[in-house]
Structure 1
Amino acid sequence: MKALKVISFTYKNCELQAVGRLVIDPAERFEKLKALKDKFHFGELFYIATCNRVEFVFSYSHDVDSTFVKKILKFTYPHLTAEDQSYYSVNSAIYTNMSAMEHLLRVSCSLESLVVGEKEILAQVRQMYDECRKWGFTGDFFRLIMNRVVKTAKEIYTDTKIAEKPVSVASLACRKLRDEGLGYDSKFIIIGAGETIQLITKYLHKHNLKNCVIFNRTVSKAQELAEELGGAKALPLSELKNYREGFDVIVTCTGATDPIITTEIYEGLLNGSTDKKVILDLAIPNDTAEEVITNYNLSFISVQQIQEIANQNVKERQSELVFAEQIIDLNIKEFLPILRQRRVELAMREVPVKIKEIKQKAVETVFVEEINSLDPASREILEKVLNYVEKKYISVPMVMAKEIMIQQ
C-alpha cells in the first residue's frame, strides 16, 4: 500500500473554476496520461475528473510532495503560468498509503462530494478507471483496489440512508410538482432558460413533458432548450404579455430584479380561466408579484420552500455519515489481508516454473545415466514418483503461504 498515491484538486482546496481548468480534454487524455505515466515511471495510473474534482491516482515508490506536484503540473499542463503552478501545488491535497485508500473509498461513496449522497460519483470514478484500464495504464494492484471501492460504495448506498432523500433544488422542485397531481397533458409555461430551468425541464421531459412554451430574453437560448425538449415553442420574453393559449403550470427562474408575473400579465395568461393553477418560482427575488400569490386561485411553490426541504434532507444525510465511515473502516480491514494474499500468489507464480526446471535438470543432466540404465517398468514408476512429488511441491507451499496470510 505504500506505493499508492493520490493528488487531489477539489472544491475544498481550490476554486471551482480553477479545478475546471485542470480537466483534460477527452481527445487528448490518452496521450497526456501515457506521457505522464512514462515520464515519471508510475507503475499504474488512472485519472478522475468530475464537475468539482480532478485527481491523479498512481502507484509510485518515491515520496510525493508539493514540489513533485508542481513537476506534474508543469509537464501535464504546459500552458499554466509559474503563478498557476504554485497555486495548484500549494492547494493540492496529497494522500499516500492507507490515507489514499480511505480517500478513494470516501470519494466513491460521495462522502467527499459537494452534495453528500449523490450516487453519480461512483459511476464517474468507474468510467474513468475503465478508460485507463483499457489503455493499459492500470494493472492487478488497482484492479483489487477498484473492486473494493465498488463493493464499499454499494454497501453504503444500500445499508445507509445517505442517498435516500434528494437535496438538489431541481429534483425537489420536480417532486413538488408531482405532488400537485399534474397529468402528462398539462400545459407548461417556462420562463427563463438558465441552468436551473434546464435541469427541471430535462427531468420533466423524462416524464413525458410535451406541451410547453418557453419564454426568454435571449430567444436563441429558448430555442436551444425547446429543441432538446422536442416540439416545444420558443418565444421572446416580451411576448409573455400577449400569450393567450392557456396553461396549467408556470415554471419561472430569471435574474430579474422586478416581478415578471404581474397582475396584468397573469390576468392575460389566465384569459378567463378559473381553474386552479400552479406556479413554481425558483427566482431570488421571486418572479411572481405578491398580489398574484395572494389574490388568485393557485398553488405557489417558492425556492425558499424548496431550500428548507433541501436543508433538512442534508441534515439527515449528514447523520448517516457515521454509519458510512464504519463501513469504510471495515472494508479497509478486510482489504489488507486480501492484498497480502494476492501478493503471495503473485510471488509464488515462480514456484511451478522453478520446480519443473529442477526436475528437468535432474532427469536430463544430473541422473541421466542412472535413469537410462533402468528397465522400462522402473523408469515408469520413477516418472510417476517424480510427477507426484512435483505436484505436491507446487501445491503445498502455496496452501501454506495462504494460510499464514489469513492467520495474520
Structure 2
Amino acid sequence: MIILKADYKKYNVSELENIRVDEEEFYGTFYNAILLQTCNRVEIIFDADKLEDIKGIENIKLEKFDILVGDEAIEHLFRVACGLESMIVGEDQILGQLKNAYLKAKEKGKISKKLEKIILKAIHTGQRARVETKINEGGVSIGSAAVELAEKVFGLEGKNVLLIGAGEMANLVIKALKEKNIKAIIVANRTYEKAERLAKELGGIAVKFDKLEEALRYADIVISATGAPHPILTKERLKNAGKTFIIDIANPRDTTDDIKELPGVFLFTIDDLRLVAEENLKKRKKEIPKVEKIIYEELENLKELLDKMKLEVAVKELGQYIENIRKREVEKALKILKNKNKPAEEVLDDFSKALCKKIIYDMIKIFENVESREFFECLAKEFKKHGNNN
C-alpha cells in the first residue's frame, strides 16, 4: 500500500485547500484507490507496491506530499482512524470521514479486495480505540469544553440554549451541541443569515440582534462567541434575565465582570475553559499508549489476514494453471480416442502420465529460479507426506 500524505503538520488550511484533488477527476483516473480529504488533511491511498505501477500518477504533484509505503502506510492509516494523527488528539470526526471516503470509493467501484480489507480493519481499530480507551473523552477545543462545562455544572437536558455569534468558535459549539439532548437552541448574530444557517444544523431558531434581550430572558444557558470589539452582555442588559448560566468564549470578551453581581447569574470565561481543555488533553494523551497497543494487535491480525489472502490467490492461480494443462491433455486424449488408435485404458494412462510430467517439468523450471533450495525440499516432503496419507 502507498499513501500520499499532506496535513496540518506541514501546511495551513489555505495551503491544503490548494493541494486538494477534484474527487470526480480522481475516481475517473485511478483504480484501487481512496481519496481522504478533510480541512486538515489530504491523503491519497493506493493499493500498489511502487509509484511507477500507478497509472495516472503523473497527474499528481508528488512534491507536495509525504510518501508512505507498505507497513508504514498501513500503520499511519490505523493511527489516523484512531485520532492519533489529528490536530485534536482522539477526535471522532475523522473516523466518520474515513468511512465516507471508503463508501465513495466502493460506490465508484474503484476499491480492490485487499484495500477494502485494510480500510475496514482501520475503521474497526478506530472503533475499538474509542470503546476500550478514553482517547476521545473530554472536550479539548474551547467550543466543546464550553458545552462540557455547561453540562457538568448546570445540565443540558431539557434546557434552552442561546448561542450568540456565528463564527468559527460558534461552529465548534454547534458541533458539540449536536450530541446533546437540549430542549431548544436559539442563535443570535448581527448577520441574520449566518444565524439562520447555524440554527438549521440543530433544528433551532435564529433571532435578530435587536431581539437579544428577549432571547436572554428565555435562555437557561448562554454561550457567547462573537467577534465584537466591545462587551455585548452587560449588567444592564441582563438585569431581567433571571437564573442564567453564561459562558463567554469570545476574545476579546463579550461580558463585563459586574454581571456576576446579579442574583442567579453565573459567569465563566475563556480562561476557565482553557484549563478544562488543557486538562482533558492531558488525559487523552495518557491514553495514547493504550491506543497504540490496540493498533499493534490489529496490525498483527491484519498481517495474518493479508497472508491468508495471498495464499488464496496463489492457490487460485495454481488451480488455474493445472486446469489449463488438464484441458490441453484432455483434448489430445479425445482426438486419440476418436481415431481409435489405442484402447481407452491406454489412452487414459498416457493422459495421466502426460499431465503429471508437464506439472513436474514446470515446477523444476520454476524452482531453478528460486534461491532457497530448502523451500523446494520442504515442499517435496509435504507432498510426499500428503501422498502417503491419501
TM-score norm. by structure 2 comes to 0.76
Displacement after TM superposition at 1:207 (Å):
4.7
Residues 278-317 of structure 1 aligned to structure 2 (within 5 Å): 278-317=245-284
Residue of 20, 26, 30 corresponding to 1:32: 26
Q: What SS does structure 2 have at the residue aligned with 1:347?
A: helix
- Does the Cα contact within 8 Å between 2:160 and 2:185 map onto a contact in 1? yes
Report the Cα distance in structure 2 between the residues aligned to 1:319 and 1:188, rounded to whole angstroms.
33
Residue of 334, 344, 348 corresponding to 2:311: 344
| Matched letter for residue 266 of structure 1 | L
- Does the Cα contact within 8 Å between 2:162 and 2:215 map onto a contact in 1? no
Residues 96 and 192 of structure 1, relative CA distance in 2, 3 Å threshold: same
Report the Cα distance in structure 2 between the residues aligned to 1:360 and 1:242, rounded to whole angstroms.
87
Q: What SS does structure 2 have at the residue aligned with 1:170?
A: helix
Residues 5-404 of structure 1 aligned to structure 2 (within 5 Å): 5-25=2-22, 29-35=23-29, 37=30, 44-62=32-50, 75=59, 89=63, 92-181=65-154, 186-201=159-174, 204=177, 207=180, 209=182, 213-230=186-203, 232-236=205-209, 238=210, 240=212, 246-267=218-239, 269-270=240-241, 273=242, 276-366=243-333
- Does the Cα contact within 8 Å between 2:160 and 2:219 map onto a contact in 1? yes
Q: What SS does structure 1 have at the residue aligned with 2:42?
A: strand
- 1:113-138 CA distance string (max 9 Å, x none): 11111122122112212211332322
Instruction: Let me know the Cα RMSD of the aligned residues.
Output: 3.7
Residues 193 and 321 of structure 1, relative CA distance in 2, 3 Å threshold: same
- Does the Cα contact within 8 Å between 2:138 and 2:148 map onto a contact in 1? no
- Does the Cα contact within 8 Å between 2:165 and 2:226 map onto a contact in 1? yes
Displacement after TM superposition at 1:203 (Å):
5.0
- Does the Cα contact within 8 Å between 2:98 and 2:123 map onto a contact in 1? no
TM-score norm. by structure 1 comes to 0.73
Report the Cα distance in structure 2 between the residues aligned to 1:228 and 1:334, rounded to whole angstroms.
40
- Does the Cα contact within 8 Å between 1:13 and 1:93 map onto a contact in 2? no
Q: What SS does structure 1 have at the residue aligned with 2:5?
A: strand
| Matched letter for residue 244 of structure 2 | K
Displacement after TM superposition at 1:19 (Å):
1.0
Displacement after TM superposition at 1:30 (Å):
2.9
Q: What SS does structure 1 have at the residue aligned with 2:43?
A: strand
| Matched letter for residue 98 of structure 1 | D
Q: What SS does structure 2 have at the residue aligned with 1:106?
A: helix
Report the Cα distance in structure 1 between the residues aligned to 2:202 and 2:304, rounded to whole angstroms.
52
Report the Cα distance in structure 2 between the residues aligned to 1:335 and 1:23, rounded to whole angstroms.
30
Displacement after TM superposition at 1:296 (Å):
3.9
Q: What SS does structure 2 have at the residue aligned with 1:48?
A: strand
Report the Cα distance in structure 2 between the residues aligned to 1:360 and 1:47, rounded to whole angstroms.
43
Report the Cα distance in structure 2 between the residues aligned to 1:233 and 1:19, rounded to whole angstroms.
33
Residues 351 and 109 of structure 1, relative CA distance in 2, 3 Å threshold: same
| Matched letter for residue 156 of structure 1 | A
Displacement after TM superposition at 1:258 (Å):
2.3
Displacement after TM superposition at 1:288 (Å):
1.2
Report the Cα distance in structure 1 between the residues aligned to 2:80 and 2:38, rounded to whole angstroms.
11
Gaps of 5+ in 2: 360-377, 383-390
Report the Cα distance in structure 2 between the residues aligned to 1:93 and 1:278, rounded to whole angstroms.
47
Residues 356 and 311 of structure 1, relative CA distance in 2, 3 Å threshold: same
Report the Cα distance in structure 2 between the residues aligned to 1:261 and 1:63, rounded to whole angstroms.
58
- 1:89-131 CA distance string (max 9 Å, x none): 2x53211121111111111111101111112212211221221
Report the Cα distance in structure 2 between the residues aligned to 1:329 and 1:20, rounded to whole angstroms.
33
Q: Give the fraction of aligned pairs with identical amino acids, expressed as a percent.
A: 27
- 1:65-90 CA distance string (max 9 Å, x none): xxx9xx95x735xxxxxxxx6xx82x
Report the Cα distance in structure 2 between the residues aligned to 1:308 and 1:202, rounded to whole angstroms.
20
Number of positions where the alignment pairs a residue of Structure 1 with one of Structure 2: 353
Residues 316 and 233 of structure 1, relative CA distance in 2, 3 Å threshold: closer
| Matched letter for residue 264 of structure 1 | E
| Matched letter for residue 44 of structure 1 | N
- Does the Cα contact within 8 Å between 1:251 and 1:280 map onto a contact in 2? yes
- 1:159-205 CA distance string (max 9 Å, x none): 32212333233333223223344576645443222233244346546
Residues 307 and 58 of structure 1, relative CA distance in 2, 3 Å threshold: same
- Does the Cα contact within 8 Å between 1:192 and 1:216 map onto a contact in 2? yes
- Does the Cα contact within 8 Å between 1:240 and 1:265 map onto a contact in 2? no
Report the Cα distance in structure 1 between the residues aligned to 2:153 and 2:295, rounded to whole angstroms.
40
Residues 5 and 188 of structure 1, relative CA distance in 2, 3 Å threshold: closer
- 1:39-77 CA distance string (max 9 Å, x none): xxxx6211111120001111344457xxx9xx95x735x
Displacement after TM superposition at 1:20 (Å):
2.4
Report the Cα distance in structure 2 between the residues aligned to 1:126 and 1:231, rounded to whole angstroms.
28
| Matched letter for residue 30 of structure 1 | E
